[in-house]
Amino acid sequence: MTDSIGTEQTTDLAALYPKWAVIDDRTGYQGYLVQPSNLILFATAVRDDLGYDYLSSVTGVDYLPDGKMEVVYHVYKTIGGLPVVFKVQVPREQAVVPSLVSVYPGADFQEREAWDLLGIRFDAHPDLRRILLWEGFAGHPLRKDWHEPYYEEEGKPFKSRWPNGQVFRSEDKNSFQDNVQYPKGFSPEDWIPEAETALYGGIHKVQKANESSLKTDQMIVNFGPQHPSTHGVFRMAALLEGETIVDLKPVMGYLHRNHEKIGERNTYIQNIPFTDRLDYISSMSNNFGYVLAVEKLMGIKPPERADYLRVMMAELTRINSHIMTTGFLLNDLGAFFTPALYALEERELILDIFEAVAGSRMMCNYYRFGGVARDITDDVFKKVDELVNDRLPRKIDEFDAFLTGSEIVKTRCEGIGVLSAEQAVAYSTGGPILRASGIPYDVRRAEPYSIYDRFDFDVIMGSHGDVYDRYLIRIEEMRQSVRILKQVVKDFPQGPIFNGKPQYQVRVPAGEAYGRVEGPKGELGYYIVSNGKPNPWRYHVRAPSFINLTSLAKMCIGGKIADVVVILGSIDIVLGEVDR
């Protein structure tokens, strides 16, 4: 690694492409504004001429006062460095933007999400259906003039709570029967689910040349939403030819609660406990990304000891998440619960530490803007020391000996769910999936945040891009996390854990920020737009498990139906994050 990566200056694209791009000169904003008609040309040039091959995030912002809808793109180089941000503005009433799926296939689900939640239509998108909500849903909830059934006020804190708080239940004010709005002309009784027709229609029938005399019928099989392999409520519709998958469509949104709308009602600090509930296996990492994004806007930095505590917790979380994934992958393979139980044993010890430091095992709510919530006590620190210097290395080796060489694991995983390096980048996969395909891309190295530039660790990389490589990468990454933790424990500094006095309402200057961390599931990003008020104007989560699912169909097609379960297990999704 050279020192220049991550600090290099990006070229001025407005000077390079004066016809297509102008600099976004609003205060607190960065990047370029592009006309919708030039978007595809510009994006192709940025990808092919400048090498920004990795589309990290696509999202929309509703600028209601200006009457504009904005689509924001963040693209990166897979060799590391700073992003190029470009934006397209269209009028709210006529929100149509050309789709970038042809340039970056990874935009697929993200554009569908922007259509679903913001009502931005993407021209020439191959399959522009709602993704998180159902067809009987009225309106696009993230538009600023859309109000939820329990609507009380634009932003928290609500005035009804203090000083004359008259207690009520919102469901009593707006009872269960009346809290639903349907689109015009929609009657739930007469509704024939067109979505199903569209879904199955979307699974394009492949007319196979009549090679054999044996006539076969294609058949659609539904996995889920209630299926043990999905670890939650997730559905896949697979088109089969015999046992072979011809096409597959994931269906999600069963656990949708519109996290982003809740986030826009919340004040900045109120959002921290809500981020815990995204990927509930690794809440510390979720806190980390959000806090980094807001700190970027506020222009503050935590003290040294807080930085060390943050890294310590984030790496413990990574071990926790990876060991769970490995255990449950084996569950999906049929090694019913013995490996998962051994994984849970280590997880318990890590959660004990979280509980003693943060107060809760899973919903940690530990990071704050400018520090962390609580200091670590000496006895807990001793526990961490024991864990990283004795117990975890031993147990990871045991796990390795237990599973890696097993012939059953090998036969079931090797060569299954292969994703080539080009595909992995194109589909915007992140984390272990991307690295298993041979792209050594890790945000901790590519654009070091916090104090990751101080630690010595390797970015683990696979070469085949199959399920077995993803499994091996997780085992090896746990070893690297232990390696980082050993350095953290060795150099752990004394000092304060918070700069200044903790505030219950922080002042965030107007502007935008995109903060990202390498979460256990992949690149976890938060895009925040502030207009100087106590509540964020836009709060978007780039959820790694959601975007990793874009490549699911690609991995499954051509494989056997029994392998779908294993492939899904190797992607490692958490439905709290997929559905948000």
Partner 1 sequence: MDGLGILRGLWTTFKHFIDTYLEDITYRGKRYYTPEGIQRRSSSKGRGIFTVQYPEEKLPVPEEFRFIPILVYEEGPNGEKKQRCTSCGICAKVCPPQCIWIVRSNDPITGRPIPSPAQFYIDIDICMNCGLCAEFCPFDAIKMDHDYEIATTNRYKHNIYNIDKLSRPVSYYAKIRPKNYDHEEAIRAEKTSRKAGSSEAAG
**In a 10 Å sphere around its CB, with 0-12 CB exposed, 13-18 middle and 19+ buried, how is residue 534 labelled?**
middle
Q: Can you tell me which of 185, 188, 228, 405 binds partner 1, judged by CB under 8 A?
A: 405
* Closer by beta carbon to partner 1, 35 or else 389: 389
Counted residue by residue, the chain has a size of 580
269 binds partner 1 (CB under 8 A): yes
Query: 466 to 525, contacts with partner 1 by CB under 8 A?
Result: 502, 504-505
What is the distance between the alpha carbons of residues 268 and 451, in angstroms, rounded to a whole number?
24
- Closest approach, Cβ 286 to partner 1, in A, equals 13
Q: Can you tell me which of 410, 454, 483, 486 binds partner 1, judged by CB under 8 A?
A: 410
Q: Can you tell me which of 8, 390, 453, 491 binds partner 1, judged by CB under 8 A?
A: 390
Residue type, 309: L
Q: Which segment (20-28, 85-93, 139-147, 398-406) binds partner 1 by CB under 8 A?
A: 398-406
Residue among 259, 293, 292, 298 nearest 276 (CA):
259
Number of residues that bind partner 1 (CB under 8 A): 56
- Closest approach, Cβ 5 to partner 1, in A, equals 37
Query: 156 to 185, contacts with partner 1 by CB under 8 A?
Result: 156-158, 160-167, 169
82 binds partner 1 (CB under 8 A): no
Whose tokens are 């975890």? That residue is 392
Task: Write out the two tokens for 470.
Answer: 């993803």
What is the distance between the alpha carbons of residues 458 and 322, in angstroms, rounded to a whole number?
16
User: HSE on the CB side for 518, CA within 13 Å?
Assistant: 24
342 binds partner 1 (CB under 8 A): yes
- 429, 418 Cβ separation under 8 angstroms: no
309 binds partner 1 (CB under 8 A): no
Q: To which H or E segment does residue 121 belong?
A: strand 121-123
What is the distance between the alpha carbons of residues 11 and 27, in angstroms, rounded to a whole number?
20
* Closer by beta carbon to partner 1, 114 or else 357: 357
- Closest approach, Cβ 423 to partner 1, in A, equals 30
CA–CA distances in Å: residue 268 to residues 55, 192, 275, 283, 362: 27, 42, 11, 17, 21
Whose tokens are 């569908």? That residue is 112
533 binds partner 1 (CB under 8 A): no
* Closer by beta carbon to partner 1, 358 or else 436: 358
* Closer by beta carbon to partner 1, 104 or else 274: 274
- Closest approach, Cβ 265 to partner 1, in A, equals 9
193 binds partner 1 (CB under 8 A): no
- Closest approach, Cβ 542 to partner 1, in A, equals 22
- Closest approach, Cβ 429 to partner 1, in A, equals 29
- Closest approach, Cβ 116 to partner 1, in A, equals 25
Would you put residue 309 in left (φ > 0), alpha (ψ -120 to 50) or beta? alpha
Q: Can you tell me which of 4, 7, 338, 420 binds partner 1, judged by CB under 8 A?
A: 338
What is the distance between the alpha carbons of residues 324 and 407, in angstroms, rounded to a whole number?
21
8 binds partner 1 (CB under 8 A): no
550 binds partner 1 (CB under 8 A): no
- Closest approach, Cβ 165 to partner 1, in A, equals 3
What is the distance between the alpha carbons of residues 325 and 331, in angstroms, rounded to a whole number?
10
- C-beta atoms surrounding 507 within 10 Å: 11
* Closer by beta carbon to partner 1, 149 or else 502: 502
What is the distance between the alpha carbons of residues 191 and 138, in angstroms, rounded to a whole number?
14
337 binds partner 1 (CB under 8 A): no
What is the distance between the alpha carbons of residues 301 and 291, in angstroms, rounded to a whole number?
10
What is the β-pairing status of strands 511-519 and 522-530? antiparallel
Beta bridge mates, 74: 57, 85
What is the distance between the alpha carbons of residues 146 and 261, in angstroms, rounded to a whole number?
10
331 binds partner 1 (CB under 8 A): no
Task: Write out the two tokens for 103.
Answer: 């340039």
- 82, 59 Cβ separation under 8 angstroms: no
* Closer by beta carbon to partner 1, 179 or else 377: 377
- Closest approach, Cβ 413 to partner 1, in A, equals 12
Q: Can you tell me which of 38, 78, 365, 531 binds partner 1, judged by CB under 8 A?
A: 365
147 binds partner 1 (CB under 8 A): no
Residues of the shown chain interacting with partner 1 in the complex, contacts defined by CB under 8 A? 156-158, 160-167, 169, 266-267, 269-274, 338, 342, 345, 348-349, 352, 355-360, 363, 365, 373-374, 377, 383, 386-387, 390-391, 398, 401-410, 502, 504-505
